[in-house]
Amino acid sequence: MADSPLILITNDDGIESPGLRAAIEAALPLGEVLVAAPHEQQTGAGRSFIKLTDRRIYHRQLTVGGQTVKAFSIKGTPAQVTLVALLDLMPRRPSLVISGINFGANVGSGITISGTVGAALEAAAHQVPALAVSLDTPVEYHISHSEEIDFSTAAHFTRYFADRVLHSVPFPVDVDVMKVDVPAQATPDTEWRMTFVSRQRYIRNHPSPPEERGKWVQTTYETWIDKTRLEPGSDVWAVFVDGVVAVSPLSLDLTSRVDLIALVKHLEYGGLHGE
């Protein structure tokens, strides 16, 4: 298998997620697959690292599509799992990391909260091309392992883009991760579109009930879109207005796209004086 592409599959929903199994099945025809995922649900972990109280690496064997796949789980965040896999678990450098398939779309200005995206960014920081794949689902499924969700269309697009990334690496300069978001009603025939990340926050959080504030954290959230302010070329617009698959190139470079010299002048001669 040394000449076959090596693909690492990870996620933030945990080793038991049906979305992880769907990603594995999508990748199996493309090369050699190894799985490393959080031992438990890690939705919302972003690219964070936590203090590990259990440093054990749990060895697993997953059977997917009639094939047995070597797998590991770690009681850490998606980014930590990805780091350990790249440093200690992979027999050689992988050609691609696939993070997903996530329960719930990862679109808009909240994507840095996403553990799915966080794992992909960690791979990219180690110069490994990565896909972060998510399927829009109702909020009540976001932290579930429900077998009611059909991942087949999302798996189709996972394989589609994984195959193209494997045959087009390296990515163009300033593209480190491809984020793929699949609408709930998409089919394999659904159009896909290159998009930018919306500045609108797709997840709207609610404060704790008044009687609980200052005592307990009881915040909740809902999905929400303000169409009057939504950008037509964005990932949110593509998925939730036009119903197409949104493919967004992400960069590790978070620097604002402004003229830096002009910004210095603004701070020194303008903005600091209220002009």
Instruction: Note whether 103 and 149 are within 8 A (CB).
Output: yes
Q: Is the pLDDT of residue 23 over 90?
A: yes
C-alpha distances (whole Å) from 15 to each of 72, 186, 222, 227, 239 are 8, 25, 26, 36, 27
Q: Is the pLDDT of residue 34 over 90?
A: yes
Structural domain includes residue 58: yes
Structural domain includes residue 10: yes
> Residue 1's pLDDT is what?
53
> Residue 217's pLDDT is what?
87
Structural domain includes residue 216: no
Give me the domain span that covers residue 57.
6-198+229-273
**Mean pLDDT score, 106-124:** 97
217, with CB counted inside 10 A (0-12, 13-18, 19+), is exposed
Lowest mean pLDDT among 12-21, 80-89, 207-216, 236-245: 207-216
Q: How far apart are CA 54 and CA 68, in angstroms?
A: 26
**Mean pLDDT score, 189-202:** 97
Number of folded domains that form the chain? 1
Mean pLDDT, rounded, of the chain:
95
Structural domain includes residue 79: yes
Lowest mean pLDDT among 34-38, 115-119, 217-221: 217-221
Q: Is the pLDDT of residue 231 over 70?
A: yes
27, with CB counted inside 10 A (0-12, 13-18, 19+), is buried
Q: Name the pLDDT band for 71 (thresholds 50, 70, 90).
A: very high
**Mean pLDDT score, 8-20:** 98
37, with CB counted inside 10 A (0-12, 13-18, 19+), is buried
Q: Name the pLDDT band for 271 (thresholds 50, 70, 90).
A: low
Q: Is the pLDDT of residue 79 over 60?
A: yes
What beta strand segments (E) does 67-110 contain? Answer: 67-74, 96-103
Q: Name the pLDDT band for 168 (thresholds 50, 70, 90).
A: confident
Q: Strand 245-250 relative to strand 32-38: parallel, antiparallel, unpaired?
A: unpaired
Structural domain includes residue 209: no
Structural domain includes residue 123: yes
**Mean pLDDT score, 63-86:** 97
Q: Is 11 helix (H, G, I), strand (E, B) or coil?
A: coil
CATH code at position 157:
3.40.1210.10
> Residue 218's pLDDT is what?
82
Q: Name the pLDDT band for 267 (thresholds 50, 70, 90).
A: very high
Q: Count other Cβ atoms within 10 Å, centred on residue 75.
A: 18
Q: Count other Cβ atoms within 10 Å, centred on residue 45.
A: 23
> Residue 33's pLDDT is what?
98
Structural domain includes residue 64: yes
Q: How far apart are CA 38 and CA 17, in angstroms?
A: 10
Q: Is the pLDDT of residue 270 over 90?
A: no
Q: Name the pLDDT band for 98 (thresholds 50, 70, 90).
A: very high
Instruction: Note whether 62 and 21 are within 8 A (CB).
Output: yes
From the list 130, 118, 122, the residue with the least C-alpha distance to 94 is 130
